[in-house]
A and B are shown apart, each in its own frame.
Chain A
Amino acid sequence: MRFLLLALLLAGCGAQAGAVPPPAGLGPTDQAYVDLVIPQNESTLAVLALAGPSLRPLADRVEAQYRDELALVREVLARTGKPENDLHEGHDMPGMVTAAELTAARHAPEAEFDRRVEVLLRTQFEEARTVARAEQASGTDRAVVELSARVESTRTEFLALLEEVRR
Chain B
Amino acid sequence: MPLVPTRRLRRRVWIAALAVAGVAASAVTANAMFFHPPAKPEASQTSSATAVTTTTSQATATPPATAAPTTTAGTTKAAVAPTKAQEPIPPNAVRVAEFVAECPFTHRLPDDPIVLPGLAGASHMHSFFGNDSTNAHSDVTSLGKGKTTCSPKVDLSSYWVPTLLVDGQPVEPTGTTFYYLGEGVKDEVIARTQPLPYGLRIVAGNAKATAPDNSTQSRWSCLHAGHVGASKDFVNCPAGTMIESYLDFPQCWNGKDLDSPDHKSHMSYPVAGDCPATHPVPVPKLRQVLRYPASGDPARFKLSSGPGFTMHGDFFNVWPEAEMAQRVRDCINRIVKCGPDGRP
Contact = CB atoms under 8 A, between A and B. Distances in A.
B225 interface: no
Given A16-B54, A20-B260, 8 more contacts: A16-B57, A17-B74, A18-B257, A20-B259, A36-B119, A92-B310, A130-B121, A138-B120
A32 B119 contact: yes
Interface stretch (B109-117, B188-196, B227-235, B281-289): B109-117
Interface of B: 46, 48-50, 53-54, 57, 61, 74-75, 110, 115-124, 136-137, 199, 207-208, 210, 256-262, 304-306, 310
A14 to B, nearest CB: 6
B58 to A, nearest CB: 8
A64 to B, nearest CB: 24
B121 A131 contact: yes
A13 B74 contact: yes
B142 to A, nearest CB: 13
Interface residues on A, range: 35 or more
B261 A85 contact: yes
Interface of A is mostly: loop
Contact of A36 (B120, B122, B256, B310): B122
A120 B294 CA distance: 31
Contacts of A63: none
Given A13-B74, A131-B121, A134-B136, A89 B115 contact: no
B118 A32 contact: yes
B183 to A, nearest CB: 28
Contacts of A130: 120-122
Interface of B is mostly: loop
Given A13-B74, A19-B257, A20-B261, A88 B208 contact: yes
A83 B48 contact: yes
Which has the most chain A C-beta neighbours within 10 Å: B61, B210, B304?
B210
B61 to A, nearest CB: 7
A167 B128 CA distance: 42
Given A14-B74, A85-B46, A19 B121 contact: no
Contacts of B50: 16, 21
Given A17-B74, A32-B118, A134-B118, A92 B257 contact: no
A122 B119 CA distance: 20
A16 B58 CA distance: 10
B199 A93 contact: no
A29 interface: yes
Contacts of B207: 91-92
B74 A89 contact: no
Nearest to A16: B54
A37 B115 CA distance: 14
B208 A32 contact: no
Contact of A93 (B49, B124, B137): B124
A33 B122 CA distance: 9
A94 B118 contact: no
B122 A93 contact: yes
B261 A36 contact: no
16 contacts: A18-B75, A18-B257, A19-B75, A20-B258, A20-B261, A29-B117, A29-B118, A32-B115, A32-B116, A32-B119, A36-B119, A81-B49, A85-B46, A87-B262, A93-B124, A131-B122
Contacts of A98: 306
Given A16-B54, A17-B75, A82-B48, A134 B117 contact: no
Given A19-B259, A89-B208, A28 B117 contact: yes
Contacts of B120: 130, 134, 137-138
Contacts of B199: 19
Contacts of A82: 48
Contacts of B208: 88-92
Given A19-B257, A21-B50, A90 B210 contact: yes
B256 to A, nearest CB: 6
A134 B260 contact: no
Nearest to A95: B122
A88 B261 CA distance: 13
